[in-house]
């Protein structure tokens, strides 16, 4: 086989899992319960947030919060301060794709 396959969990509870981390890309799968968030941090690559389920609230570089819904992709440039949260009552599920891999910036 030439191709590689990867699996990710299905969850109704908070979950943060690394799916792929190689020289090309990092892909993480995240599930956040209502009123939960990720710690505020700076992007360590070009980040693409792919929303599968729910609504994602994000603030970039201390700007006003913006809400994005499922079936949207948000691009966050390298070295941008970001705070990601689920401020809704329903579950939020999304992928974080970092391309190129953050290893490129070290």
Torsional class of 101: left (φ above 0), alpha (ψ -120 to 50), beta (otherwise):
beta
pLDDT digits (tens, 9 = 90+) for 35-93: 999 999 999 999 999 999 999 999 999 999 999 999 999 999 999 999 999 999 999 99
Q: List, for residues 12-26, the tens digit of each pLDDT value.
A: 999 999 999 999 999
Domains (ranges, CATH) in the chain? Answer: 15-105 (2.60.120.10)
Exposure string for 65-87, b = 16+ CB within 10 A, e = fewer: eeebeeeeebebeeeeebbbbbe
Under the banding of pLDDT at 50, 70 and 90, the label for residue 106 is low
């Amino acid at each position: 086989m030439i191709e590689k396959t990867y699996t990710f969990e299905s969850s109704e509870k908070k979950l943060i899992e690394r799916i792929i981390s190689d020289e090309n890309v990092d892909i993480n799968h995240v599930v956040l319960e209502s009123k939960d968030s990720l710690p505020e941090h700076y992007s360590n690559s070009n980040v693409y947030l792919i929303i599968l389920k729910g609504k994602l609230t994000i603030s970039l570089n201390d700007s006003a919060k913006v809400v994005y819904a499922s079936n949207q992709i948000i691009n966050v440039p390298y070295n941008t301060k970001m705070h990601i949260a689920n401020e809704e009552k329903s579950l939020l599920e999304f992928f974080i794709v970092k391309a190129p891999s953050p290893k490129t910036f070290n």
